[in-house]
Amino acid sequence: MPFENGLIDLRSDTVTVPTPEMRRAMALAEVGDDVYRDDPTVNRLEERAAALTGKAAALFVPSGTMGNLLALMVHCAGHRGVEVIVGDKSHIYLNEVGGLAALVGAQAAVVPNQPDGSLGLADVVAAIRDEDVHHPRTRLICLENTQNICGGVVVSPAAMAATRDLARRHGLKVHLDGARLFNAAVALGAPATELTQHVDSVMFCLSKGLGAPVGSMLCGDADLVAEARRYRKMVGGGMRQAGVIAAAGLIALEHMIERLDDDHVNARRLAAGLAGLPGLTLENPEPQTNMVYLQLDPARGITGPVVAEALRGDGILLDPGPYGFRLVTHCWITPTDVDKVIDGFHAVLGRKRKGQVCEG
């Protein structure tokens, strides 16, 4: 489907606008005051999210950042100064405004993300504190799946199980930042529970590849979600007739999960079409999900902003780094759009390829 504004927007999958079916469901949603638990649409969404992740309960939150924050608050349970093990390329560490420090009162114990998105078990073991009057206490390990900065890679169920086993041996909990959980599940060809069975809590976003306008879900056992509900109120995330937005989330879970495979196919098509362009290196030549990361050769003197500006003329929106891009496919990007983007890159960087057919 073409984007309603006619643009080809590869900046993120957060740019997805609601589908016509979502807009209809939003207009007709049955609602109530969700702080009183009176909103039947929110209640249904929470039940559905819990079922899909194999957890006892779920909580609808305005954003993924808030979902992660509430999970961190519950797992750290007011013990200020505790440590949370996070990947050095994780969203929680890099892109949540330091909420772990500022709002949870915990500090990050940072270990390197491996190229496959996992955390090395030896690194995690080394980061776990032993009991000593000088040491903070370790509480939690956070994983991210798909791992965004590692290339939208799928952290394997085996790696997650190994992390879970390690956590159990040390009395730690595991939280999953699953902003793109269903991209990972679809790429594996498995239900999401294949991944979420290994964690104590999981946040996933409705507002990214699933196309809903607003919202994320935090899922876990009943006690965790009950505590998270209190913290959600504390940070101002208690919403009233939230069924208006939850209605779109229900459509997202019903109709937008399986089609994520189309986005993955489009990402591979895009990578294949850009491969071999002079001065362009693909960081993930065979994308596992919906992201293509690439670098431009600084020696050629063509910067990211120059490329972005050139393609803007063709109605293509890109989010440039100084010499790199993350290109993200989503439900409003068609194979034809992908081919236009490939043509745009070839026009700026390479030999002309107009008319050439791209398969893959």
Contacts with ligand PLP, residue ranges (CB under 6 A): 63-65, 68, 91, 144, 148, 177, 179, 205, 207, 216
Compute the least distance from the CB of residue 151 to ligand PLP, in Å. Answer: 12
- What is the maximal distance between C-alpha atoms in the chain? 69
Name which of 61 and 349 has its Cβ closer to ligand PLP.
61
CA distance 211 to 201: 23
Compute the least distance from the CB of residue 39 to ligand PLP, in Å. Answer: 20
Name which of 90 and 272 has its Cβ closer to ligand PLP.
90
Name which of 214 and 280 has its Cβ closer to ligand PLP.
214
Compute the least distance from the CB of residue 359 to ligand PLP, in Å. Answer: 30
CA distance 34 to 263: 33
Classify 339 as helix, strand or coil.
helix
Compute the least distance from the CB of residue 314 to ligand PLP, in Å. Answer: 27
Distances (CA, A) of 299 to 278, 303, 338, 350: 11, 10, 27, 15
Q: Which of 144, 134, 131 has its CA nearest to residue 85?
A: 144
Compute the least distance from the CB of residue 177 to ligand PLP, in Å. Answer: 5
Name which of 236 and 355 has its Cβ closer to ligand PLP.
236
Compute the least distance from the CB of residue 109 to ligand PLP, in Å. Answer: 19
φ/ψ of 339, rounded to 5, equals: -65, -35
Compute the least distance from the CB of residue 332 to ligand PLP, in Å. Answer: 17
Compute the least distance from the CB of residue 214 to ligand PLP, in Å. Answer: 9
For strands 216-220 and 280-282, give the pairing. unpaired
Are 203 and 96 within 8 A, CB to CB?
A: no
CA distance 230 to 15: 30
Distances (CA, A) of 129 to 77, 83, 163, 167, 199: 18, 9, 16, 12, 21
Angle between helix axes 335-349 and 304-312 (nearest 10 degrees) is: 120
CA distance 82 to 105: 8
Compute the least distance from the CB of residue 156 to ligand PLP, in Å. Answer: 17
Angle among Cα 146, 293, 272 to the nearest 5 degrees reads 105
Name which of 138 and 148 has its Cβ closer to ligand PLP.
148
Name which of 53 and 148 has its Cβ closer to ligand PLP.
148
Compute the least distance from the CB of residue 113 to ligand PLP, in Å. Answer: 12
CA distance 217 to 153: 21
Name which of 214 and 341 has its Cβ closer to ligand PLP.
214
Are 173 and 143 within 8 A, CB to CB?
A: no
Name which of 46 and 343 has its Cβ closer to ligand PLP.
46
Name which of 252 and 296 has its Cβ closer to ligand PLP.
252
Name which of 46 and 144 has its Cβ closer to ligand PLP.
144
CA distance 97 to 105: 13
Distances (CA, A) of 236 to 84, 259, 305: 24, 34, 37
Distance of CA 250 to the CA centre of its chain: 18
Question: Closest residue (Cβ) to ligand PLP?
Answer: 64
